[in-house]
Amino acid sequence: MKHLVLLLLLPGLVAGTLAASVNWPDALKGIAAGEQAWLDKAPDLAAMADVKQAIALEDALSSSLAKNTPGTLKTLSLIDAKTWPHMIGTDIVCGLPFEQPVAEVEDFYQRTRMALLSTDKGATCLWILEATYEEWKADNALKAK
């Protein structure tokens, strides 16, 4: 029975150890750069992220889309396959960064669109990107009137 209790507690102990040992600024920088080693750790980070960290993790994954498209899409498929306390995943990561200045939004759209078109695994992400881009353009047109 003691061994069973230990086995049940082990995932929590490991996650607690990982949470204490993660250098979030380094992790986010590596993920944003599209470094595969950090992308591989992203689902574990998602499992322990607080709200602020989850938002930063989603932003970093958005940045990595154009730098390591296959790796980021694979990471998103792993994140989307589970329920996380504060992570949403593909629905947020593949959308436009509306809070950025217009030039940065346009640049993000063009770079990410071209990267997603280069793979056959990015259809869902591309659809979300295109939909949010059209929504953003329509909203900007209304504001201009």
Asked if the structure places residue 27 within a domain, the reply is yes
What's the one-letter identity of residue 85?
Answer: P
Per-position DSSP letters for 80-136, written without gaps between them = HTS--SS---HHHHTS--TTS-HHHHHHHHHHHHHHHHT-TT-HHHHHHHHHHHHHH
Asked if the structure places residue 7 within a domain, the reply is no
pLDDT band at residue 143, thresholds of 50, 70 and 90?
confident
103 or 5, higher pLDDT: 103
21 or 138, higher pLDDT: 138
Q: Please tell me the total count of domains within the chain.
A: 1
Kindly state the percentage of the chain with pLDDT values over 70.
86
Asked if the structure places residue 9 within a domain, the reply is no
Confidence at residue 18, expressed as pLDDT on a 0 to 100 scale: 54
Asked if the structure places residue 33 within a domain, the reply is yes
**Interval 93-103: pLDDT, tens:** 999 999 899 99
Asked if the structure places residue 127 within a domain, the reply is yes
**Interval 13-65: pLDDT, tens:** 444 455 568 899 999 999 999 999 999 999 999 999 999 999 999 999 999 99
Confidence at residue 19, expressed as pLDDT on a 0 to 100 scale: 52
Structural domain of residue 101, as residue ranges?
A: 23-144
**Interval 77-117: pLDDT, tens:** 999 998 888 888 999 999 999 989 999 999 999 999 999 99
Asked if the structure places residue 30 within a domain, the reply is yes
Per the document, the length of the chain is 145
Q: In the chain, what's the furthest Cα-to-Cα distance?
A: 70
Confidence at residue 68, expressed as pLDDT on a 0 to 100 scale: 97
